[in-house]
Amino acid sequence: MKTKTLQELAEHVGGRLVGDPNILIREASTLDKAGCGEITFLSNPKYEPLVKKTKASAVIVQKEMECTAAQLIVEDPYYAFMQIVVLLHGHREHPKVGISPAAHIAQTAQLGPDCQVSQGVTISEHVKIGKNCYFYPGVFVGPKVQIGDDCIFYPNAVIYDGTIIGNRVIVQSNASIGQDGFGFATHKGQHHKIPQIGRVILEDDVEIGAGCAIERGTLDNTVIGKGSKIGDLVAIGHGTKIGPCCLLVPQVGIAGSAVIGHHVVMGGQVGVVGHIRVGNMVKIAAKAGVINDVPDEATIGGTPAIDVNKAKRAYALIEFLPEMRKKLKEIERRLNDLSKENGQTTP
């Protein structure tokens, strides 16, 4: 952990400083918990009242505000906060273990310089690995896998045969990349397994969360686009194509052969059926069920998913449906009574 002056932090993120530039900052924290010697940030307007109450030495904001803390004014407070957290705290450091004698590495495998291979790792035949990759204990890398530079594989990650992984990819613990897709031909009541002859491609700067399952394609490849981040416990079906810079929050499920555009955000437990297309810049609310194609830049929610504003209005009515039904029954009864009084019969 490092200590920096507020002036140094301002220069680091290219921000404008309001307050004492010599204030020492040793840590980063949240608005409600930050104290003396700590810096915090405001990116969500609903937390604006906390800025006036914060005990932090400095706060990162988009515009100058009324508060007792010094202010670091930037265009994107959350991004600036990230830069400062990295500067002060750094990313996780991985211990240098070299090539453990308790690892199994096939003679035909090729490892680049400065790779760290822990005990219990298996690297199979004809694997090609770039430089500076880290393999934690229990990682399995199947035959003919190709891995780029600066990748990290946390404990018990499984990389099936033929998978292609780019540079700076992170695979968290217990993730499974490239297992068989859920493909069966049902004939006379019996389910017959279809060979899955495609593979999985993880492009540069992809991160795969803990416990994820990403299936290889039946015929075509499953592709996770450059810079996309996949949360924990996400299941991605065979042949799915996910574009660059997408964010999939934990417990998302995407069926086979779906095509997802770039910069798509899916909330927790979103379900997407197979063989549909989700456009670019789409936002999908948590627990939505997506069953149809989605146009670019749409924001949808609900099950089945519809425009999020319509979904909010529809779901807001749910708690009133019993009372509305009761009133409709009463109206129907009164109409029947009026019809009888007028000598008419209700159809």
Catalytic positions, please?
Answer: 238
CA–CA distance from 217 to each of 149, 160, 196 (Å)?
24, 12, 6
Query: In one letter, which amino acid is 320?
Result: F
Distance separating alpha carbons of residues 280 and 262, to the nearest angstrom: 5
| First-to-final CA distance of the chain | 80
- Cβ burial of 22 (10 Å; 0-12, 13-18, 19+) is exposed
- Beta strands 253-254; 235-236: pairing state: parallel
Buried b (16+ CB within 10 A) or exposed e, 76-85: ebeebbebbb
Burial category of 266 from C-beta neighbours within 10 Å (exposed 0-12, middle 13-18, buried 19 and up): buried
Is 304 within 8 Å of 291 (Cβ atoms)? yes
